[in-house]
């Protein structure tokens, strides 16, 4: 069961591990990222951040979609972390309605982005993708840590 899908450009770090992992009752973390899936150095760094009691899996976006759709992940209480809005949108659109909400935790400022909160910076295309998800019934919200007030994403 997917407990949380989070967009965070830092992927796995103390805040995700300490706050969200325990808060949502997860036992598995899936880092869904094409670059990490093929980069042993980044995998090693991410392994250092994982909680001792967590199962950690690192897969490409397509392999993550295949695993979720196959049912093999159903036995886990999963926290999924992706680096970008585009990756989150692709996961949601291709996993047979298994993901019904999206937590926006952090997207760094880049050229062409607009600031939506202290940690969320989006291009117009990313904002449009999120609006499209909302129109299709996905709960899209900004919340950096669990004890922070949940803010509905608004373009």
Q: Which residues are CB-neighbours of 92 under 8 A, at least 6 positions away?
A: 5, 99, 102, 133, 138
- Note if 13 is an active site residue: yes
Which position has the token pair 């950690």? 56
Cβ(87)–Cβ(32) below 8 Å: yes
| Residue pointed to by tokens 């449009």 | 128
Continuous segment of H or E residues that includes residue 134:
helix 124-135
Cα 12 vs. chain centroid, distance in angstroms? 10
Q: Residue 99, SS3?
A: coil
Catalytic residue among 9, 10, 13, 93: 13
State the DSSP code for 19: I
Please give the positions annotated as active site.
13
């Amino acid at each position: 069961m997917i407990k949380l899908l989070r967009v965070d450009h830092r992927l796995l770090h103390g805040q995700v591990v300490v706050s969200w992992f325990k808060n949502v009752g997860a036992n598995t973390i899936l880092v869904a990222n094409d670059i990490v899936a093929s980069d042993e150095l980044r995998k090693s760094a991410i392994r250092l951040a994982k909680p001792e009691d967590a199962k950690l899996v690192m897969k490409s976006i397509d392999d993550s979609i295949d695993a979720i759709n196959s049912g093999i992940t159903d036995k886990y209480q999963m926290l999924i972390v992706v680096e970008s809005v585009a990756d989150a949108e692709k996961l949601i659109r291709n996993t047979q309605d298994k993901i019904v909400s999206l937590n926006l935790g952090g997207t760094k400022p880049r050229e062409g982005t607009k600031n939506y909160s202290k940690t969320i910076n989006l291009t117009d295309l990313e904002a449009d993708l999120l609006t499209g998800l909302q129109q299709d019934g996905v709960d899209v919200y900004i919340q950096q840590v669990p004890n922070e007030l949940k803010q509905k994403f608004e373009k």
